Amino acid sequence: MTTNLTDLTNINGIGDVAQVAQTHTGGLFFGIIIIGIFFILTIRLSHRGIEKAIAASAYVCLLLSGTLVYYNYLQLIYPIIFLFLAAGSTFIAYRNQQP
Protein backbone atom coordinates (compact mmCIF):
# COMPACT_ATOMS: atom_id res chain seq x y z
CA MET A 1 0.00 0.00 0.00
CA THR A 2 1.50 3.31 -1.05
CA THR A 3 0.65 6.69 0.43
CA ASN A 4 1.03 10.13 -1.07
CA LEU A 5 2.81 12.43 1.37
CA THR A 6 3.78 15.19 -1.07
CA ASP A 7 1.48 17.67 0.69
CA LEU A 8 3.36 17.12 3.94
CA THR A 9 6.82 18.06 2.65
CA ASN A 10 6.53 21.81 3.31
CA ILE A 11 4.89 21.66 6.74
CA ASN A 12 6.18 24.33 9.14
CA GLY A 13 3.54 24.28 11.88
CA ILE A 14 0.12 23.24 13.07
CA GLY A 15 -1.57 25.68 10.69
CA ASP A 16 -0.06 23.90 7.71
CA VAL A 17 -1.23 20.55 9.05
CA ALA A 18 -4.76 21.95 9.44
CA GLN A 19 -4.71 23.26 5.86
CA VAL A 20 -3.65 19.85 4.54
CA ALA A 21 -6.38 18.16 6.60
CA GLN A 22 -8.94 20.68 5.31
CA THR A 23 -7.87 19.97 1.73
CA HIS A 24 -7.92 16.19 2.07
CA THR A 25 -11.32 16.07 3.80
CA GLY A 26 -13.00 18.13 1.14
CA GLY A 27 -13.52 21.14 3.40
CA LEU A 28 -15.08 19.26 6.32
CA PHE A 29 -12.20 19.37 8.80
CA PHE A 30 -12.97 22.74 10.38
CA GLY A 31 -16.72 22.08 10.24
CA ILE A 32 -16.26 18.93 12.30
CA ILE A 33 -14.02 20.80 14.74
CA ILE A 34 -16.61 23.58 15.20
CA ILE A 35 -19.45 21.10 15.73
CA GLY A 36 -17.30 19.24 18.26
CA ILE A 37 -16.60 22.49 20.12
CA PHE A 38 -20.34 23.20 20.16
CA PHE A 39 -21.18 19.85 21.75
CA ILE A 40 -18.33 20.02 24.27
CA LEU A 41 -19.36 23.52 25.38
CA THR A 42 -23.02 22.54 25.57
CA ILE A 43 -22.27 19.56 27.79
CA ARG A 44 -19.88 21.57 29.93
CA LEU A 45 -22.37 24.41 30.47
CA SER A 46 -25.48 22.24 30.88
CA HIS A 47 -25.51 22.69 34.67
CA ARG A 48 -26.89 26.21 34.09
CA GLY A 49 -29.84 24.90 32.09
CA ILE A 50 -29.88 23.38 28.64
CA GLU A 51 -31.37 26.47 26.95
CA LYS A 52 -28.66 28.73 28.33
CA ALA A 53 -25.97 26.18 27.52
CA ILE A 54 -27.08 25.89 23.90
CA ALA A 55 -27.32 29.67 23.57
CA ALA A 56 -23.84 30.28 24.97
CA SER A 57 -22.31 27.50 22.90
CA ALA A 58 -24.02 28.73 19.75
CA TYR A 59 -22.77 32.28 20.29
CA VAL A 60 -19.18 31.09 20.77
CA CYS A 61 -19.36 28.84 17.71
CA LEU A 62 -21.01 31.65 15.73
CA LEU A 63 -18.00 33.85 16.38
CA LEU A 64 -15.51 31.08 15.62
CA SER A 65 -17.26 29.96 12.45
CA GLY A 66 -17.67 33.58 11.30
CA THR A 67 -13.93 34.04 11.64
CA LEU A 68 -13.25 30.84 9.73
CA VAL A 69 -15.66 31.89 6.97
CA TYR A 70 -13.80 35.19 6.69
CA TYR A 71 -10.55 33.27 6.10
CA ASN A 72 -12.27 30.87 3.64
CA TYR A 73 -11.93 27.76 5.79
CA LEU A 74 -15.69 27.20 6.23
CA GLN A 75 -18.81 27.65 4.17
CA LEU A 76 -21.35 30.32 5.08
CA ILE A 77 -23.95 27.76 6.19
CA TYR A 78 -22.14 27.11 9.50
CA PRO A 79 -22.52 30.61 10.98
CA ILE A 80 -26.09 30.79 9.69
CA ILE A 81 -26.96 27.56 11.53
CA PHE A 82 -25.30 28.80 14.73
CA LEU A 83 -27.08 32.15 14.38
CA PHE A 84 -30.48 30.42 14.27
CA LEU A 85 -29.50 28.14 17.17
CA ALA A 86 -28.36 31.12 19.24
CA ALA A 87 -31.45 33.18 18.47
CA GLY A 88 -33.88 30.33 19.09
CA SER A 89 -32.32 29.15 22.32
CA THR A 90 -32.00 32.72 23.61
CA PHE A 91 -35.69 33.29 22.92
CA ILE A 92 -36.64 30.05 24.68
CA ALA A 93 -34.39 30.81 27.66
CA TYR A 94 -35.88 34.31 27.93
CA ARG A 95 -39.44 32.97 27.70
CA ASN A 96 -38.79 30.32 30.38
CA GLN A 97 -37.20 32.80 32.74
CA GLN A 98 -38.89 33.09 36.13
CA PRO A 99 -40.66 36.46 36.73
| 9 found inside a domain | no
Residues contacting residue 58 through CB under 8 Å, at least 6 positions apart: 38, 82, 83, 85, 86, 89
pLDDT at 20: 84
pLDDT at 10: 77
Domain count for the chain, please give it.
1
d(CA 59, CA 11): 33
| 1 found inside a domain | no
- Each residue of 48-60: pLDDT tens digit? 889 999 999 999 9
| 57 found inside a domain | yes
| 78 found inside a domain | yes
Average pLDDT over residues 16-42: 90
| 14 found inside a domain | no
- For residue 51, the enclosing domain spans 27-95
pLDDT at 21: 85
| 66 found inside a domain | yes
| Greater model confidence, 24 or 65 | 65
| 31 found inside a domain | yes
The model carries a pTM of 0.83
